[in-house]
Structure 1
Amino acid sequence: MARLSREDRQIALGRSQAGQSQSAIARHFHVSQSTISRLWVRFQATGSVADLPRAGRPRATTAAHVRFIRLRHLRNRFLSASSSVQALPGPHRLSDQTVRNRLHEAGLRARRPHRGAVLTRRHRQNRVQWGNQHLRWTVRNHWRHVWFSDESYFLLQRHDGRRRVYRRVNERYAPNCVDEAPVHGGGGVMVWGAINTAGRSTLVHVQGRITAQRYVEEILRPHALPLLADQDAIFQQDNARPHTARLATQFLTDHHVQVLPWPSMSPDMNPIEHLWDELDRRVRRREEAPANHRDLLQALQEEWDTIPQQDIRHLIQSMPRRCRAVVAAQGSHTPY
């Protein structure tokens, strides 16, 4: 719950004296009604809106310290709390946790950062240009005809590096303190899929390194072409080398497939990326974790078939918002 500043308390008191209800005042300041009630009782008893004397250790940070910490971390979001302790001007005795507490009060909490592709100036310009070109596309007349496709690699075991162990000094290699994990997550499987507002493709297992020849013979010809039989169908794929190779582009041209131009370094623009995340979460939530690559592939195929089509439709219906978002962000990463 938000804490009222001295100025807000004065305003709240004035509104109360003017006859406004406590619940309306509470809604205005986004606090509970009991906060306004206690403020009024305190004023009636003491004639002041200041906090009453209370027991406990006084704060180690001054208002200047709080402003310094907040601005420092707003200017560089990747700074650590310990670095701010060292950078604070003047004599002080602050702990890292005190800095974290002040950041929490400012609404700043440590989170795992989004891993985005490196975007050059040219990439941003192309993304904005693509967004502007498709701003007038609607789901009814355009996006419902697009088949979004992509490959994704799923690890058998995944470790994000955030797991911690409580141990004593010199217990780093103790058997009960070692987190044993297969190298590179124990390997994984690569799959290809495509989605549309009206349906989805089968989930195709891609074994080994994919080349343009394999992309044509194992994916485009047997799986993509049947989906694109409708003359209004549009095929979307990213700019991976096997997709843009002459062999693949010539195959699509020969079969009169309309391909949606796609800006480089733009996985955040493709709704199927969100579906891959959902598919991975569904597999991780299974009561029995996959024990090997065959079990992982079977789990992926089962969960792929059970994802509601309504969820896929909602993802594709977000394309107009994605276009507006990338234009508004001037080509930077978008939340979609």
Structure 2
Amino acid sequence: MGQKKDLTGSEKSKIVRYLAEGCSSLKIAKLLKRDHRTIKRFIQNSQQGRKKRVEKPRRKITAHELRKVKRAAAKMPLATSLAIFQSCNITGVPKSTRCAILRDMAKVRKAERRPPLNKTHKLKCQDWAKKYLKTGFSKVLWTDEMRVSLDGPDGWARGWIGKGQRAPVRLRRQQGGGGVLVWAGIIKDELVGPFRVEDGVKLNSQSYCQFLEDTFKQWYRKKSASFKKNMISMQDNAPSHASKYSTVWLARKGIKEEKLMTWPPCSPDLDPIENLWCIIKCEIYKEGKQYTSLNSVWEAVVAAARNVDGEQIKTLTESMDGRLLSVLAKKGGYIGR
């Protein structure tokens, strides 16, 4: 059995546990299917203990250089510490010192995600806000899709861990994975759905309308005539939603003209159902939760949606008046969620 790469954290924990149980190094090597020399080396190094790290004096910078670094950090958002110091012509400063200096005046953050808005987009957002400013949003049905994966939105998660505790192991998939596409709607204090899009189906105009026929229509036909008369449907500008085929299909169901809300481009921050997706994702992925099958993650979505009460939904739908005022105050700019 040849020697492999270094022991993983999980293997090291198992070695400690096996030693506590009285297992020999040879038996541990067989249990872990690792080279005996690798196991013995780890045990010997652990028994010797770690050498105390000798702190070296940090490279000091002058007050003038510090002011230059502060100005560069403000002018170069998201730049690395090396790039910031190089722009100030300050060399010979190790990374640990650079980070310690920057930590007093800045913090590491990710870039904010937001849609690109040009002048035309902003004008259309303002026109949209003015048009619907006097609308009773309790009669608007907000709809959208969300994709949920087995490992979370980014495939990873981070959070606080107590001192002395080990970080939990997360699955790292070489293949497989995937996700589930979910459709839902909210109106006043009611949740419509969620409904699962069949695996492998790509939502184009035809498949989207067929999906609505099989799901949304069952909910819609149970509503009273007065409800249908007053309801306004919101569809965003996704190609499958805004195509001529989909518009004609909705018109045949009586959702047309003023009953079909026009939607400004690049405006996910105006749709309250996006906040519902955040609530559901926080619930299904809490504590770094992962899933092993598409059915299990779908069941988690259903359970999380069932726990969203009417008051939470009502808070989202009633937030529209404030969103419209924010759009006008920012002259069509991005308002956040």
Cα 1:79–1:131 change in 2 (3 A) is: farther
Decide whether the 8 Å contact of 2:156 with 2:288 is kept in 1: no
Partner in structure 2 of residue 181 of structure 1: 173
- 2:211 is aligned to 218
Inter-partner Cα distance in structure 1 for 2:325 and 2:73: 29
1:206-285 residue pairs with structure 2 within 5 A? Answer: 206-207=197-198, 208-219=201-212, 220-224=216-220, 226=222, 230=227, 231-257=229-255, 258-285=259-286
Which whole-Å deviations, capped at 9, do the CAs of 1:248-286 have from their partners, x for residues lacking one? Answer: 212322333211111111111111111112211111127
- Give the C-alpha shift of residue 300 in structure 1: 0.6
Alignment counterpart, residue 203 of structure 1, candidates 194, 197, 205:
194
Q: Distance in 1 between matches of 2:204 and 2:84?
A: 49
Tell me the distance in 1 between the aligned counterparts of 2:297 and 2:193.
16
Distance 2:128 2:103 in 1: 38
Q: So what's the TM-score if we normalise by structure 2?
A: 0.67
* One-letter amino acid matched to 1:180: R
1:311 Cα deviation (Å)? Answer: 1.6
Tell me which of 133, 146, 167 is aligned to 2:140: 146
Q: Name the SS of the counterpart of 1:278 in structure 2.
A: helix
Query: 1:307 maps to which residue?
Result: 308
Matching residue of 1:114: 112
Q: How much does 1:304 deviate? A: 0.7
Does residue 190 of structure 1 match 2:189? no
Structure 2 counterpart of 1:181, one-letter code: R
For 1:23, the equivalent position in structure 2 comes to none
Closer/same/farther in 2, CA of residues 309 and 104 from structure 1, 3 Å limit: farther
Q: CA deviation at 1:189?
A: 0.3
* Residues 333 and 178 of structure 1, relative CA distance in 2, 3 Å threshold: same
Q: Which runs of 5+ in 1 are unaligned?
A: 1-56, 165-176
Question: How has the CA–CA distance of structure 1 residues 113 and 294 changed in structure 2, closer, same or farther, with 3 Å as cutoff?
Answer: same
Partners of 1:77 and 1:227 lie apart in 2 by 52
| SS in structure 2 at match of 1:332 | coil
1:225 shift after superposition: 5.6
RMSD of aligned alpha carbons: 3.2
| Distance in 1 (alpha carbons) for counterparts of 2:73 and 2:130 | 34
8 Å contact kept, 2:117–2:266: yes
Report the Cα offset of residue 127 of structure 1: 2.1
Secondary structure in structure 1 of the residue aligned to 2:113: coil
**Deviation of the 1:329 alpha carbon:** 3.4
Structure 1 equivalent of residue 66 of structure 2: 66
For structure 2, the 5+ residue unaligned runs are 1-56, 159-168
Check the 8 A contact 1:211/1:242 in 2, yes or no. Answer: yes
Question: Equivalents in 2 of 1:215, 1:228: separation in Å?
Answer: 25
1:183-232 superposed Cα distances (whole Å, 9 cap, x missing partner): 4x710000100012221112111121112222223215334565685122
- Using the size of structure 1 for normalisation, the TM-score is 0.67
Structure 1 residues 326 and 228: CA distance shift in structure 2, 3 A = farther
CA change 1:178–1:280 in 2 (3 A) is closer
Per-residue deviation, residues 44-90 of structure 1 (Å, max 9, x unmatched): xxxxxxxxxxxxx799344433333333233332212110111114x
Contact 2:209–2:249 (8 Å) recurs in 1: yes
Letter of the structure 1 residue corresponding to residue 151 of structure 2: Q
Instruction: Report the AA paired with residue 155 of structure 1.
Output: S
Checking the alignment, whether the CA contact within 8 Å between 1:326 and 1:332 is kept in structure 2 is yes
Distance 1:194 1:232 in 2: 16
Letter in 2 for 1:240: A
| Partner of residue 93, structure 2 | 94
Query: Any idea what SS the aligned residue of 1:203 has?
Result: strand
Number of residue pairs matched by the alignment: 262
Change (3 A) 1:60 1:317: farther
Indicate conservation of the 8 Å contact 2:123/2:332, yes or no: yes
Determine the C-alpha separation between the residues in 2 that align with 1:297 and 1:276.
14
Contact 1:228–1:235 at 8 Å: present in 2 too? Answer: no
- Report the Cα distance in structure 2 between the residues aligned to 1:225 and 1:77, rounded to whole angstroms: 53
Q: Structure 1 residues 99, 271: CA separation in 2 closer, same or farther (over 3 Å shift)?
A: farther
Q: CA deviation at 1:332?
A: 3.4
For residues 330 and 94 of structure 2, what CA distance do their matches in structure 1 show? Answer: 37
Relative to 1, partners in 2 of residues 1:104 and 1:133: Cα closer, same or farther, differing over 3 Å?
farther
- The answer to whether the Cα contact below 8 Å between 2:129 and 2:328 also exists between their aligned partners in 1 is yes
Instruction: Measure the CA separation in 1 of the matches of 2:193 and 2:156.
Output: 34
Q: CA deviation at 1:100?
A: 3.8
